[in-house]
Structure 1
Amino acid sequence: MQSKVVTVTLNPALDKTITIPRLEVGGLNRVMQTRLDPGGKGINVAKVLQKFSVDVIATGFIGRYQGEVVQRALKDMGIKTGFVKVRGVTRTNLKIVDNERKVTTEINEPGFEVLPEDLVKLGHKLSYFLQHTSVLVLGGSLPQGVSEDIYYHYIELAKKQNVKTILDAEGLALKEGIKARPFAVKPNIHELEQLAESPLSTEKDIIAAGRELLKKGVTVVVISMGSRGAIVLSNDEVYLVTPFPIIPNSTVGAGDSMVAAMAYAFLENKPLHEVARWAAAAGTVTASKPGTEVCSLAEVQGLLHEVRVVRI
Structure 2
Amino acid sequence: MIYTLTCNPAIDKTATLQELQVGALNRLENVVISAAGKGINVSKTLLTMGQDSIVLAFLAGNTGTFIQETLATINLATKAIWVEGTTRTNLKIMDHASNLTELNERGPLVDENKQNEMMEMLASILQPGDILVLAGSLSTGMDTTYYATLVAYFAKREVKVIVDADDAAFKQAVDQVPYLVKPNAFELCQYMHQPESENPVVLAKMAKQLLQKGIGMVVVSMGKAGALFLRDQQVLYAKGLHVDVKSTVGAGDAMVAALTYAIEKKWDLEKLAIYATAVSAGACTTAGTEPASKNVIDTLIKQVVVEKIEV
Which residue of structure 2 lines up, in the alignment, with residue 209 of structure 1? 206
Calculate the aligned-residue CA RMSD, in Å. Answer: 1.5
Change in 2 beyond 3 A, CA 1:214/1:42: same
4+ residue runs over 4 A deviation: none
Cα deviation for residue 298 of structure 1 reads 4.1
Once the two structures are superposed, residues 58-83 of structure 1 have per-residue CA deviations (whole angstroms, 9 ceiling, x without a partner) of 00211112111111111112110001
Aligned with residue 116 of structure 1, among 109, 112, 117: 112
Which residue of structure 1 lines up, in the alignment, with residue 22 of structure 2? 25
Residues 1:306 and 2:291 aligned together = no
Which residue of structure 1 lines up, in the alignment, with residue 159 of structure 2? 163
Structure 1 contact 103–249 (Cα < 8 Å) conserved: no
Change in 2 beyond 3 A, CA 1:211/1:133: closer
Which residue of structure 1 lines up, in the alignment, with residue 271 of structure 2? 274
Change in 2 beyond 3 A, CA 1:110/1:81: same
Change in 2 beyond 3 A, CA 1:298/1:154: farther
Which residue of structure 2 lines up, in the alignment, with residue 283 of structure 1? 280
Structure-to-structure mapping, 1:8-47, within 5 angstroms: 8-47=5-44
Please give the alpha-carbon distance, in whole angstroms, between the structure 2 residues aligned to 1:23 and 1:164: 42
Cα deviation for residue 132 of structure 1 reads 7.7
Q: TM-score, normalised by structure 2?
A: 0.94
Which residue of structure 2 lines up, in the alignment, with residue 101 of structure 1? 97
Please give the alpha-carbon distance, in whole angstroms, between the structure 1 residues aligned to 2:33 and 2:87: 14
Amino acid in structure 2 at the alignment position of 1:293: E
Structure 2 contact 58–80 (Cα < 8 Å) conserved: yes
Amino acid in structure 1 at the alignment position of 2:52: D
Please give the alpha-carbon distance, in whole angstroms, between the structure 2 residues aligned to 1:288 and 1:18: 14
Cα deviation for residue 156 of structure 1 reads 2.6
Cα deviation for residue 198 of structure 1 reads 2.2
Structure 2 contact 45–257 (Cα < 8 Å) conserved: yes
Please give the alpha-carbon distance, in whole angstroms, between the structure 2 residues aligned to 1:190 and 1:230: 13
Amino acid in structure 2 at the alignment position of 1:68: T
3-state secondary structure, aligned to 1:65: helix
Structure 1 contact 63–85 (Cα < 8 Å) conserved: yes
Cα deviation for residue 292 of structure 1 reads 2.1
Cα deviation for residue 57 of structure 1 reads 0.4
Which residue of structure 1 lines up, in the alignment, with residue 215 of structure 2? 218
Structure 2 contact 13–288 (Cα < 8 Å) conserved: no
Residues 1:174 and 2:170 aligned together = yes
Which residue of structure 1 lines up, in the alignment, with residue 142 of structure 2? 146
Structure 1 contact 67–89 (Cα < 8 Å) conserved: yes
Residues 1:129 and 2:125 aligned together = yes
Please give the alpha-carbon distance, in whole angstroms, between the structure 2 residues aligned to 1:105 and 1:129: 38
Please give the alpha-carbon distance, in whole angstroms, between the structure 1 residues aligned to 2:60 and 2:145: 22
3-state secondary structure, aligned to 1:208: helix
Please give the alpha-carbon distance, in whole angstroms, between the structure 1 residues aligned to 2:90 and 2:129: 30
Once the two structures are superposed, residues 145-174 of structure 1 have per-residue CA deviations (whole angstroms, 9 ceiling, x without a partner) of 211111122123322432211100001101
Amino acid in structure 2 at the alignment position of 1:270: W
Please give the alpha-carbon distance, in whole angstroms, between the structure 1 residues aligned to 2:186 and 2:294: 28
Please give the alpha-carbon distance, in whole angstroms, between the structure 1 residues aligned to 2:293 and 2:156: 33
Which residue of structure 2 lines up, in the alignment, with residue 230 of structure 1? 227
Change in 2 beyond 3 A, CA 1:306/1:24: same
- Structure 1 segments unaligned to the other structure (5+ residues): none
Residues 1:247 and 2:253 aligned together = no
Cα deviation for residue 139 of structure 1 reads 0.8
Q: Percent identity?
A: 37
- Structure 2 segments unaligned to the other structure (5+ residues): none
Cα deviation for residue 30 of structure 1 reads 1.3
3-state secondary structure, aligned to 2:84: strand
Please give the alpha-carbon distance, in whole angstroms, between the structure 2 residues aligned to 1:131 and 1:235: 25
3-state secondary structure, aligned to 1:280: helix
Q: How many residues align?
A: 308
Structure-to-structure mapping, 1:57-76, within 5 angstroms: 57-76=54-73
Structure 1 contact 5–133 (Cα < 8 Å) conserved: no
